[in-house]
Structure formats: structure tokens, C-alpha cells
């Protein structure tokens, strides 16, 4: 008898594994989104108190009153880390948003526009991908005078090519799909096909692509500020906190470097998880199982 | 055609059910039942054809017998091979040795591996290079073919190589899954002739196809597949003239709907896969349907040398 | 009044020629069968006649003029794989009503059930999807129908059903049909004349 | 084949020219005044006429197109100008430091390639089990770890606490150049290379696992299983062969991230490579050096992409045999 698993044919029995998978995905998405909002909001809530120098509490290791310890000027590391993260979040938001917009515009025009336009845009994409990201960001940041605007411009101009290529490939494939050709022969205009046929397909791709753009943008922003670009004295970015902490490593205050980096890691990981699970919700087959 | 009833079947499948749990958008889960209480048997030295619409789950039967169903499939029912139950462990032992699959097209061959090497892997007894060359010459494949890659094979050559992989293993049960899609009629006839040769050599051949014409030319018995189950198994001689010798109303409808017979269709269409109600699945379209058919699912009973799954079949 | 292929030649990029100096004419109400081995250009010819692709040489003419490139095309194509000819992210009601709104009688004849209209394409079988494609192609503006292996993937009963409806509609509205198929019996059964495309390797 | 190579080099030339023009224009419109950047702190002591003399010496007062022509002519002659920070010809600076950077990058590249492939293959074969989940979780976390933070941690643990490795620099401090042994260089190279490869392993492992999962769901693996093949034998005959090519091609195409990573590692470990030079040039406005590094990195990335495409054409039988075409004409 090869009755591996006898399955009762009625579908009403609540199968424990099904609820679990869907429930688990929704819970994860909610957690990731809540964590990110907490970070963004946290920057405003904690206010200035923690950031002011207070020489009485210098170099204190992590304790109950100061969970992430204090630095060489007595500033509470928790407040500084959260401020830094919310700045990185804002910069990531601006950079990822703009580059995603550029990618949408260029991706669509190169796929739907004429042959010449397509070759120019693909060549431009290759040009931007020809130079390593970080070197290009340094160049752009330097050109913009090294301030925070330089960092945002740098991160923005290096992240649009990958998403453009993805969107262009998707539109090219859709444009020659059978149902689009049929629609054209049924008398529908090019514009009608683009809005009614292509857009519904592009929306999930674009949204997931946008969310997965955040981690890269934030990591590069932190890297560039770590290297010394975009130094803004009043609002400390994560990169700045970490680069300053380097001087005190050998002095033994390890917590200055460890916790900010870990916080950045968790924030970036939250974006990754959010992006992946949303893709799973949109189209179960295409996501990594 | 030898008298078939006396020989005990090599493979006996009874009340086999296969269903899948699939995730749709928004991660809602759906259970799809591809095969529902299917019973069929294959005898050595015989070609049994399973005929049904393409994409209706027939090749799942082949995968269930060989034991290579995907992870999210759940199987119920009984399968007996050569008198003993076909447990997953036994399937693993028999796969490739006693039970062989002839797949549908050339992309079932490893694109980066020469064709000769792939056939050799299934030639288990004796020196595999010699067995492979002997098989290739028997199937009129030029000596150089073994060095070619799958993408270099023409339609006909690909078919012969695929049949060769099954024959090389010395398997007793050969399952051909849709071997004749969109091929030149000459190649189709040649492929079916090869399967015929294998059965006259004493092996059991199960031919799964949607092309009823090919089945009629080759098979000894034909099992008609409808909505996840075999509704009738009949010797090929019953398929003639008006189809009056046939038992199940659906096989009659199928025979009469053929262009060369009457081209007269029966209204309605196959029930979709996930809302199979109890009772006879052909009832809504069946001219002889009675209230009893709507409630009780008919059992497969033998009738005049064949089998039918219908309360009123005569 | 006919649909003509006038000395057309076609090939993909610079590979070998698939169609070379081919002439073909279909009169309104006439049913022409097209047979030949796979890969010898049956589908390519159908796509050229329906305006899905342009021939490298020669022209496709409808009533003597070139085929219209925009607006409802009087030549409609129904292909072999219905699941590719339907937008997977649309409800079937929108797909059906894309060209025109078919009347109840046609839907009933084709066996299209009302609750299917609110379903997604991946919930229906190939046979059911093909019924939608046929209904969509039989619009008021259609004067020629190209059935490119339309019922090859379907079982004999569904094939007979769909052809019954198509032949009736073609007869009433004098629609010209080009049938491509492997099944010589089907071609012999329904077509007035048939052409065999010689393999062009 | 030669037509393909010629096409590729033409593309390289257009890209390089474009990179030069693009960077040159970018620097022209930047608010940084090169002279102030060069003069730096003692700005006050420099009077206006001296200022003009410096500008004139650097040829900054000429119109834009003429300056670009002079600069590109110089580049063609291989003279990339003199670096402001190191006061030595840019080419010489790049030549010397690129060796150190290449050594670092190539060791990291091979390490991450080998370990990544092995880890990815293991996860792919054992899909769905605990090993797969652990490897995937490790790779995903590592892929979103900021590299410079990882470098900081490595520095903290191995150099500061355990003291196994030197805290930084390329060679032991205070030792005359000729006495520096190969072992010393290696000791200084190991920590940054280790950091880079740990980060690199994550990306490669994820790609390998994804490719292997796709291969294991393919038709030919299904047929191989139907023929009774399973486990390691299945991987050795069908799995390995079909993922080796895409993964190695991807590994060659990842030179861009490799260079980016090395910039950060060199900064944290103060390892004297091109990355550190680029950062210094960017911070202190050394235009010629920055341009030189941009061009070199573009060449480096391009060589990776070229190797990737050549590899595909030479090894994949479907492409290699395309010229000796089979009977049915186009195979696609």
C-alpha cells in the first residue's frame, strides 16, 4: 500500500501549515515596517538632551541608564545612534526615491522609445556601471564640495542603472507578449496598452525594486560618510560616528564602534526582509522560497 | 493480438489520488486535485495508451509511478508492481533499472553533456559504452551522434536518443510521456514503431498521449482519461464505426467527435480541477445521466473484456 | 474582396529563408487548410497575414490595399497557446470585452459559463481559455479568421464544439478562415481547399 | 570571434573616452577651486598676484576646450599629470599602489569565489533543510553588513585584543624598505583580505544557491532522477556542470563591488592601496590623481566584464559550436 499520506478530500479542515506560512509573512512584514518607523520617529522623539556634551558621564560602558554607553564627550550613544540612523534613513529615502524615479523614466523610454533612444540609454547605463560605485560616489561627492548634498547626489547617481536595466528588460519582454500584440490588433492604442497592460505588470516589480534599493543606498551613504565626505557637525551620520570611534578603539571603548554598526545592520536587514516578503505576497512563485 | 486477460498485470494502480497545495497571490493556499481515484493496469508484452486532453494531469501519473513527484504533492491509493506494493523505497531501487521514462522533448537532456554519455549513465548492466553503441546502431543513429550535444539533434534523432535511454537500461516497464508532440508524421510513426518493438520483446509499455490517432495505431488497449480518472479501458478493436462497442458515454462522445467520425460534440466542458463535486464527473454532460449518477461515484467494473466507470454502461 | 499574400518572403535576422515568394488568397466565406511539418513556416505565415509581423519582401493585401496598422483589424488570429494570449493580471471579463462586448448567444454556444468571467486566467484550463479567445476574435469587424493550430492542444470534444460555433458564425457572416493543423483529418473535414507548405530547409 | 573582440575594444574605447570627458566636465563645474585646495591652510599668506601665478602655472586660466585637449593629449602620451598630494607623477603613484591593491583584491576574489561556490552548492543541494536555512540566513545578514563596520570588528578582535595581526599599514613601520620580507607583507595583507573575502562569500553563495535551485528544478534533472540518479552523483554529473559557467561569469562581473570593498578595507586598515589614494585625492581635491584612479578602476572593471563574456563564448558548447552550425540552421 503506497498510501504515503491519506488526504481527506474536503478542503475545509484548517491545515496548520497553511495559516502558519501566510501568518508568518504578514507578521514579519509588520515587524520590519514597525522597526523602521520606530527608527525614523525615534530621531525626533529623543530630542537634543542626549546629544549635549556632559563631561561628568564620559566613556561609560553600556549600563542600565545608558544602554549603548556614552562617548568621550559624555554624549549618550543611544541618542546619537538613533539620530544617525534617522539621518541615514532620510538620505537613503531621498537617494533611493530619486534614483528609482530616474530608473522608471529611463527604463520605460528606452524600452518604448525608438531604437536610437534605446542604444543611448543602454550605453549610459554601461557608462555608469563601468566605474565602481564607491569611486564614482567619491568623485561626485568631491564635485559637489563634499557636503551632505554631495553624498545624496553621489548615491542617487550610482543606483539608478541596475533598476533601469531590470525595468527595461521587463518592458521589452512584455511588449512582445502575445496578449499585447492581440490587444493592438483589436484596435487599442499604444497608450492604452501601456497603461492597461504594461503598468499592472510593472507595479510589483518597481515597488519591490524600490524597497530593495534602500539597503544599498543606506550602506553606501554610511560608507561615504565614514570615509570623511559629507561631514556635518551638528547632525552626526552613522558613518561619522563610526569613523570617530576608530580613534578610541585601541583605548578600549569598543561599544562606540560595535552598537552603531549593529543598529545600521539591523535597519538594512529590516529593509531586505520587507522587500523579500512583499515580493512573496505579490507573486509566490517568483520569490525565493 | 494475444489473449490478454490470462496474463497477470506487471503494474496495477488502484484508486490513485494526487493533489497539490499551491500558493496564489497574497499567499492564499489552494488544494488542486489533479488525479482522483484512478485505476489502471499494464501487462507485459502489451502497449497500453492513456488518452486525455493535454494539460489535464496525465504526466503526473507517470511521475507518481516512478516516484519523482514534486514536494508539495500528496499521494493516496495503491500501486502494485510485479505482485509487491510499490513503496517509495522500492521505487528508488527500480527507477532507471526496471521502470524507465521516455520524456517528451530534447530539453529533458542535459544541454552541456554529450548525448552518448547521458545514455551510458542509464546502461547499468555490462560495459555501458558497448551497450550504448549497440543501442545507437539498432536505432539507426550514426556513429558520430554520441559526440553531439542535445541542441545539435534534429527532431527525429532526438526521439530515437530518448527511446534509446529507456531501452539501454533493460527496463521491464517503459512509460512514454507525450512522445509525439508536433512532429513530422513519418517521425511519429517511427517512434511508435520503436515502442511497439519494445512491447513485442516482452516489456510492458505505457503510452501517455493526447493524440488519439497515434494511440489507435500503436496500442493494444486504450484507457480514456477524463477529469482526473480513467473512465474506460477498452481493447483497440472496440474503437470502430459508430463507437457502439464502447462502454462509457464519454469515450463514445470522444469517438463521435473526431473529424473523421461525425464531428458531433457533446455540450459542456471538463469540470475545472479544484471544484470536483462527488458523484460521476461526466454526469452534467451525459445523455444517460440519472439522479443516482449525480450523488454516487460509480466504481470501475469490468465489462465485456474491458472496464468502465459508469452505473449505466452496458 | 479577398485577403491575399502577394509574393511574400520572410526570415528571422539573417538565418535561412522561412518563406520564399509565397502567394495565397482567401475569399470571404472560403475555408483554406494549411498543412506541413512543424517549423516550416505555417505559424509565420499566419502571423504575417494577421499583421503581427511584416514580410521582408512582398505585401499582404486586404481588398487590394495594405492591411490597416491601427484600429480594429478585420483579420483576427487565434493561436495555439491561449494562456499566452490572455493577460494573466486581468479578470477574464475584461479580456473578453477588450475588442467588443459579445452577445449572450455566442457565449452560450461556446459554453462559456458566467462565473468564469470573474475568474483569473490561471484558474481555468486551456480548453476554457481558448473559448474566450475565440469569442474575443469573432468581433463584428472580423472578416477573416486565422486558426493557427487552434485546437491542437484540446481534446476531441472541445475541438468539435469550438469548430461547430466558428463554422456556423463564418457561414452566416461569410468570414474567410485559414486553418493550420497537423491533423489531416480535421483539414479534410472542414476546408474547401488545402495547401501543403513544403519543408524549406 | 575576432569580430566580437574588435567590437568589445571599440566599446571599451568609447566608454573610456566618455569616462574622461564626464569626469573632466564634472570637475570643471565643481565649486572647489583647485588652487585653494592646493594652497590649503596657508591661504592667508598668498597674495592675489601670487594666486594668479599659481593658476597660470597650472594653466587654469586657459578656456575649457583647450585645457581638455591639452589634458587628453597628455593622457594619450601616458602622462596623467602630477599628483598634488604625493608630488609625483600620477602614473607612478598608481603603478606602485595598484600592485598592493591588486594583491589584496585577487586573494579576496579567489577566497570568496571558492568558499562561496562550495557554500552555495551545499545549500542548494540540501535545499529546505536546516543547513540551507542557516547558510541562507548567514549570507543574507552578511550581505547587508556594512563592510567598514565588519573591518572595524576584525581590527578590534584580531589586531587590538588578540594582537595576532598588525593594526594597519602595508609593511611593518620603521623597517627600511629592503629589509621588508615577503612574510611581513603577507601578515599585513591577511586581515584586510580576510575581511573582503568574508563579505564576498555571501554574494557568491547566494547566487550559486539560486542557480543550483533552478537547475535542480529543470527538466533534465527530473529525467536524471527518473533514471535513478540522486544525491552527489546527480550534483557531480548535472548540477556542477550547469552552474559552474553562470557563477564564474558572475564572479568576473563582480569586479566593481570588489574594488568598492577594497577602498573601504584599505581605509580601515590604512593599507597603502589605490582605494586609500582615491579617498585622499577626494578629500584633499587632488584632481589628476582622482581622475587617474577613476580611469584605472574603469579599466579594471572592464577587464572583468570582458573576461566574463569571453569565458561564456569559449566554454558554453551552444555558443562555441554556433559558428560550426548544425543542420537546422539557427538553434534558438
Give D108's pLDDT tier (boundaries 50, 70, 90): very high
CA distance A20 to A234: 47
Q: How far apart are CA B276 and CA A9, in angstroms?
A: 10
Query: What is the pTM for the complete model shown?
Result: 0.84
pLDDT of the residue at D41: 62
Residue A187, min C-alpha distance to chain C (Å): 4
Give me the residue from C52, C79, C87 closest to A197, CB to CB. Answer: C87
Among the residue ranges A51-55, A214-218, B32-36, the one predicted with the least confidence is A51-55
CB proximity list for B225: less than 8 A, separation 6 or greater: B38, B50, B51, B52, B56, B58, B231
Contact between C42 and C56 under an 8 Å Cβ cutoff? The reply is: no
Any domain includes B36:
yes
Residue D82, number of CB atoms within 10 A of its CB: 17
Q: Say which range, B83-97, B143-157, C73-87, D177-191, has the weakest mean pLDDT.
A: D177-191
Residue B198: Cβ within 10 Å count: 21
Whether residues B19 and A7 touch (CB distance < 8 A) is answered with: yes
What is the tens place of the pLDDT at every residue in A237-257?
Answer: 888 888 888 878 777 777 888
D273-278 long-range Cβ contacts below 8 angstroms, 24+ apart: D273/D97, D273/D98, D273/D100, D273/D101, D273/D104, D273/D170, D274/D94, D274/D97, D274/D98, D274/D100, D274/D101, D275/D101, D276/D97, D277/D93, D277/D94, D277/D97, D278/A135, D278/A138
pLDDT greater than 70 at residue D11? yes
D113 and D255 in contact (C-beta within 8 Å)? no
Q: CB B79 to CB A18 under 8 A?
A: no
Residue D93 or residue D175, greater confidence: D93
Domain tally, chain B? 1
C-alpha cell read off for D329: 540552421
B213 assigned to some structural domain: yes
Unique residue bearing C-alpha cell 507578449: A177
CA pair distance D72, C98, nearest whole angstrom: 59
Q: Say how far apart CA B298 and CA B308 lie, in whole Å.
A: 9
C-alpha triplet B250, B254, B258: angle, nearest 5°:
165
Question: CATH number for the domain including C97?
Answer: 3.40.50.300
- Measured N-to-C along each axis, helices A238-249 and D147-154 cross at an angle, to the nearest 10 degrees, of 10
Beta bridge partners of residue B99, listed in sequence order: B95, B173
The verdict on a CB contact (< 8 Å) between A261 and D149 is yes
Residue A287, pLDDT above cutoff 60: no
pLDDT band at residue A234 using 50, 70 and 90 as cut-offs: low
Q: Is residue B158 in a domain? A: no
**Do C45 and C22 meet the contact criterion of CB atoms below 8 Å apart?**
yes
Q: What is the mean pLDDT of chain C?
A: 88
Domain A21-46+73-288 top-level CATH class: mainly alpha
Degrees, nearest 5: CA angle C67-C71-C77: 60
If interface means Cβ-Cβ distance under 8 Å, which residues of chain A face chain C?
177-179, 181-183, 185-189, 197, 200-201
Which three cell numbers, joined as nine digits, stand for A195?
A: 497603461
| Domains of chain A, residue spans | 21-46+73-288
Cα distances (Å, whole numbers) of residue B225 to B266, B270, B280, B294, B308? 16, 11, 14, 19, 11
* C201 assigned to some structural domain: no
* Count of structural domains within chain C: 1
Cα→Cα distances C5→A184, C9, C21, C26, Å: 21, 10, 9, 9
Does C50 sit within 8 Å of A185, measured CB to CB?
yes
Residue A289 confidence (pLDDT) above 50? no
Disruptive mutation site among C43, C47, C71, C98 for chain A (greatest number of A CBs within 10 Å): C98
CA distance C200 to chain D (A): 11
C153–chain B Cβ distance below 8 A for any pair: yes
The CATH number linked to B253 is 3.40.50.300
The label of the residue with cell 545612534 reads A81
Average pLDDT, whole number, for chain A? Answer: 81
Please, which chains are in contact with A (at least 3 CB pairs closer than 8 A)? Answer: B, C, D
Assess D87–C contact: CB distance below 8 Å, yes or no.
Answer: no
Question: Is B56 exposed, middle or buried, given 0-12, 13-18 or 19+ CB atoms closer than 10 A?
Answer: buried
- Mean pLDDT (chain D) is 82
Are C181 and C195 in contact by the 8 Å Cβ rule? The answer is no
Which residues does D48 contact at the CB level (< 8 Å), separation at least 6? Answer: none
Contact indicator for D328, C201 with CB cutoff of 8 Å: yes
- Residues of A within 8 A of D18 (CB-CB) are 127
Please check the confidence at residue A15 and state whether its pLDDT lies above 60. no
Q: C-alpha cell of A137?
A: 560616489
Residue B205: is its pLDDT beyond 80?
yes
> ipTM greater than 0.85, yes or no?
no
pLDDT at A154 over 50: yes
Identify the closest residue of chain B to C35 by CA–CA distance. Answer: B184
Residue B239 CB coordination number (10 Å): 22
H/E element holding B21? strand B11-23
469515450: which residue's cell?
B251
Sheet holding B99-102, edge to edge: B99-102, B173-177, B204-209, B47-51, B221-226, B229-235, B306-308, B301-303
Per the domain annotation, does B267 fall within a domain? yes
Nine cell digits for residue C24 = 495565397
Q: Kindly give the pairing relationship between strand C144-148 and strand C176-180.
A: parallel
Cell of C138: 469573432
For residue B37, the enclosing domain spans: 11-98+171-308
3-state secondary structure of B110: coil
Residue A143, pLDDT above cutoff 60: yes
**pLDDT at residue C74, rounded to an integer:** 92
pLDDT of amino acid D324: 46
CA of residue A202 relative to chain centroid, distance = 19
Residue A26: the pLDDT is 85
Domain range spanning residue C149?
3-196
Write the CB contacts of B142 (distance below 8 Å, at least 6 apart in sequence).
none
Amino acid at each position: 500500500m503506497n498510501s504515503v499520506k491519506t488526504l481527506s478530500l474536503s478542503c475545509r479542515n484548517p491545515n496548520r501549515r497553511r495559516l502558519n506560512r501566510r501568518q508568518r509573512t504578514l507578521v514579519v512584514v509588520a515587524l520590519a515596517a514597525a522597526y523602521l518607523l520606530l527608527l525614523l520617529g525615534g530621531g525626533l522623539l529623543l530630542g537634543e538632551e542626549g546629544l549635549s556634551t556632559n563631561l561628568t558621564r564620559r566613556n561609560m560602558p553600556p549600563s542600565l541608564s545608558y544602554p549603548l554607553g556614552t562617548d568621550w564627550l559624555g554624549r549618550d550613544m543611544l541618542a546619537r545612534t538613533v539620530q544617525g540612523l534617522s539621518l541615514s534613513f532620510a538620505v537613503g529615502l531621498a537617494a533611493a526615491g530619486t534614483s528609482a524615479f530616474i530608473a522608471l523614466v529611463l527604463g520605460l523610454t528606452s524600452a518604448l522609445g525608438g531604437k536610437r533612444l534605446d542604444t543611448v540609454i543602454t550605453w549610459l547605463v554601461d557608462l555608469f556601471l563601468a566605474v565602481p560605485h564607491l569611486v564614482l560616489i567619491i568623485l561626485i561627492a568631491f564635485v559637489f564640495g563634499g557636503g551632505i548634498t554631495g553624498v545624496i547626489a553621489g548615491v542617487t547617481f550610482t543606483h539608478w542603472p541596475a533598476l533601469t536595466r531590470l525595468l527595461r528588460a521587463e518592458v521589452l519582454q512584455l511588449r512582445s507578449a502575445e496578449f499585447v500584440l492581440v490587444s493592438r490588433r483589436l484596435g487599442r492604442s499604444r497608450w492604452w496598452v501601456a497603461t492597461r497592460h504594461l503598468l499592472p505588470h510593472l507595479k510589483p516589480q518597481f515597488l519591490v525594486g524600490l524597497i530593495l534599493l534602500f539597503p544599498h543606498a543606506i550602506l553606501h551613504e554610511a560608507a561615504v560618510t565614514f570615509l570623511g565626505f559629507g561631514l556635518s557637525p551638528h547632525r552626526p551620520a552613522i558613518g561619522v560616528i563610526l569613523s570617530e570611534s576608530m580613534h578610541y578603539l585601541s583605548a578600549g571603548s569598543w561599544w562606540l564602534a560595535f552598537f552603531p554598526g549593529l543598529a545600521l545592520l539591523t535597519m538594512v536587514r529590516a529593509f531586505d526582509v520587507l522587500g523579500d516578503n512583499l515580493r512573496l505576497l505579490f507573486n509566490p512563485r517568483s520569490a525565493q522560497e | 493480438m494475444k489473449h490478454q486477460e490470462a496474463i497477470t498485470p506487471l503494474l496495477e494502480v488502484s484508486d490513485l489520488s494526487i493533489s497539490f497545495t499551491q500558493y496564489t497571490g497574497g499567499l492564499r493556499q489552494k488544494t488542486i486535485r489533479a488525479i482522483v481515484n484512478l485505476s489502471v493496469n499494464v501487462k507485459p508484452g502489451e502497449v497500453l495508451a492513456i488518452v486525455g486532453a493535454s494539460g489535464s494531469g496525465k504526466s503526473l501519473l507517470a511521475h507518481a509511478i516512478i516516484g519523482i513527484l514534486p514536494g508539495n504533492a500528496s499521494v493516496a491509493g495503491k500501486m502494485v508492481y510485479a505482485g509487491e506494493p510499490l513503496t517509495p523505497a522500492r521505487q528508488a531501487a527500480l527507477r532507471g533499472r526496471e521502470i524507465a521514462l521516455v520524456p517528451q522533448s530534447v530539453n529533458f537532456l542535459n544541454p552541456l553533456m554529450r548525448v552518448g554519455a547521458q545514455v551510458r549513465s542509464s546502461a547499468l548492466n555490462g560495459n555501458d559504452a558497448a551497450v550504448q553503441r549497440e543501442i545507437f546502431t539498432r536505432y539507426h543513429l550514426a556513429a558520430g551522434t554520441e559526440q553531439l550535444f542535445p541542441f545539435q539533434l534534429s527532431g527525429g534523432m532526438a526521439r530515437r536518443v530518448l527511446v534509446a535511454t529507456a531501452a539501454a537500461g533493460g527496463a521491464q516497464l517503459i512509460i512514454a510521456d507525450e512522445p509525439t508532440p508536433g512532429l513530422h508524421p513519418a517521425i511519429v510513426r517511427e517512434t511508435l514503431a520503436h515502442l511497439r518493438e519494445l512491447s513485442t520483446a516482452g516489456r510492458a509499455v505505457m503510452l501517455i498521449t493526447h493524440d488519439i490517432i497515434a494511440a489507435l495505431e500503436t496500442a493494444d488497449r486504450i484507457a480514456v482519461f477524463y477529469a482526473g480518472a480513467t473512465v474506460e479501458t477498452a481493447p483497440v478493436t472496440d474503437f470502430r464505426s459508430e463507437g457502439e462497442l464502447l462502454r462509457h458515454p464519454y469515450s463514445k462522445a470522444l469517438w463521435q467527435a473526431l473529424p473523421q467520425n461525425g464531428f458531433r460534440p457533446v455540450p459542456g466542458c471538463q469540470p475545472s480541477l479544484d471544484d470536483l463535486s462527488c458523484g460521476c464527473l461526466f454526469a452534467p454532460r451525459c445523455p444517460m445521466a440519472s439522479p443516482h449518477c449525480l450523488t454516487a461515484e460509480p466504481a470501475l467494473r469490468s465489462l465485456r473484456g474491458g472496464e468502465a466507470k459508469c452505473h449505466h454502461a452496458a | 474582396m479577398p485577403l491575399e499574400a502577394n509574393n511574400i518572403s520572410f526570415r528571422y535576422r539573417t538565418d535561412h529563408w522561412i518563406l520564399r515568394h509565397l502567394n495565397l488568397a482567401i475569399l470571404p466565406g472560403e475555408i483554406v487548410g494549411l498543412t506541413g511539418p512543424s517549423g516550416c513556416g505555417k505559424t509565420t505565415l499566419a502571423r504575417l497575414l494577421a499583421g503581427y509581423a511584416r514580410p521582408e519582401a512582398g505585401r499582404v493585401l486586404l481588398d487590394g490595399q495594405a492591411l490597416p496598422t491601427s484600429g480594429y483589424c478585420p483579420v483576427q488570429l487565434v493561436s495555439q497557446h491561449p494562456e499566452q494570449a490572455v493577460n494573466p493580471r486581468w479578470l477574464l471579463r475584461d479580456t473578453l470585452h477588450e475588442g467588443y462586448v459579445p452577445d449572450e448567444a455566442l457565449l452560450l454556444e461556446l459554453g462559456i459559463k458566467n462565473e468564469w468571467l470573474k475568474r483569473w486566467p490561471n484558474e481555468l484550463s486551456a480548453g476554457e481559455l481558448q473559448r474566450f479567445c475565440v469569442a474575443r476574435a469573432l468581433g463584428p469587424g472580423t472578416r477573416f479568421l486565422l486558426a493557427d493550430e487552434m485546437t491542437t492542444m484540446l481534446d476531441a470534444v472541445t475541438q468539435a464544439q469550438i469548430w461547430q460555433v466558428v463554422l456556423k458564425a463564418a457561414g452566416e457572416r461569410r468570414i474567410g478562415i485559414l486553418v493550420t493543423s497537423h491533423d489531416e483529418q480535421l483539414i479534410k473535414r472542414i476546408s474547401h481547399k488545402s495547401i501543403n507548405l513544403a519543408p524549406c530547409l | 570571434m575576432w569580430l566580437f573582440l574588435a567590437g568589445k575594444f571599440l566599446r571599451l574605447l568609447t566608454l573610456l573616452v566618455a569616462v574622461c570627458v564626464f569626469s573632466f566636465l564634472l570637475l570643471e563645474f565643481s565649486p572647489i577651486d583647485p588652487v585653494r585646495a592646493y594652497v590649503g591652510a596657508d591661504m592667508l599668506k598668498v597674495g592675489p598676484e601670487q594666486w594668479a601665478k599659481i593658476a597660470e602655472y597650472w594653466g587654469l586660466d586657459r578656456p575649457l576646450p583647450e585645457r581638455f585637449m591639452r589634458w587628453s593629449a597628455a593622457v594619450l602620451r601616458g602622462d596623467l599629470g602630477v599628483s598634488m598630494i604625493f608630488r609625483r607623477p600620477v602614473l607612478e603613484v598608481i603603478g606602485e599602489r595598484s600592485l598592493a591593491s591588486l594583491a589584496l583584491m585577487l586573494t579576496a576574489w579567489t577566497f570568496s569565489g571558492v568558499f562561496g561556490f562550495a557554500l552555495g552548492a551545499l545549500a542548494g543541494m540540501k535545499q529546505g533543510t536546516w543547513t540551507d536555512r542557516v547558510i541562507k540566513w548567514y549570507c543574507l545578514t552578511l550581505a547587508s553588513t556594512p563592510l567598514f563596520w565588519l573591518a572595524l570588528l576584525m581590527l578590534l578582535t584580531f589586531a587590538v585584543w588578540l594582537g595576532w595581526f598588525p593594526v594597519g599599514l602595508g609593511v611593518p613601520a620603521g623597517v627600511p624598505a629592503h629589509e621588508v620580507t615577503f612574510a611581513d607583507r603577507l601578515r599585513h595583507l591577511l586581515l584586510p583580505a580576510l575581511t573582503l573575502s568574508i563579505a564576498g562569500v555571501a554574494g557568491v553563495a547566494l547566487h550559486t544557491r539560486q542557480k543550483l535551485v533552478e537547475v535542480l528544478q529543470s527538466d533534465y534533472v527530473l529525467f536524471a532522477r527518473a533514471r535513478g540518479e540522486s544525491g552527489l552523483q546527480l550534483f557531480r554529473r548535472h548540477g556542477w556542470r550547469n552552474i559552474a559557467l553562470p557563477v564564474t561569469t558572475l564572479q568576473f562581473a563582480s569586479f566593481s563591488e570588489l574594488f568598492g570593498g577594497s577602498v573601504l578595507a584599505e581605509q580601515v586598515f590604512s593599507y597603502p592601496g589605490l582605494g586609500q589614494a582615491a579617498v585622499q585625492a577626494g578629500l584633499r581635491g587632488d584632481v589628476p590623481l582622482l581622475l587617474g584612479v577613476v580611469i584605472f578602476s574603469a579599466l579594471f572593471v572592464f577587464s572583468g566584464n570582458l573576461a566574463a563574456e569571453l569565458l561564456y563564448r569559449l566554454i558554453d558548447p551552444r555558443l562555441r559550436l554556433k559558428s560550426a552550425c548544425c543542420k537546422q540552421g539557427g538553434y534558438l
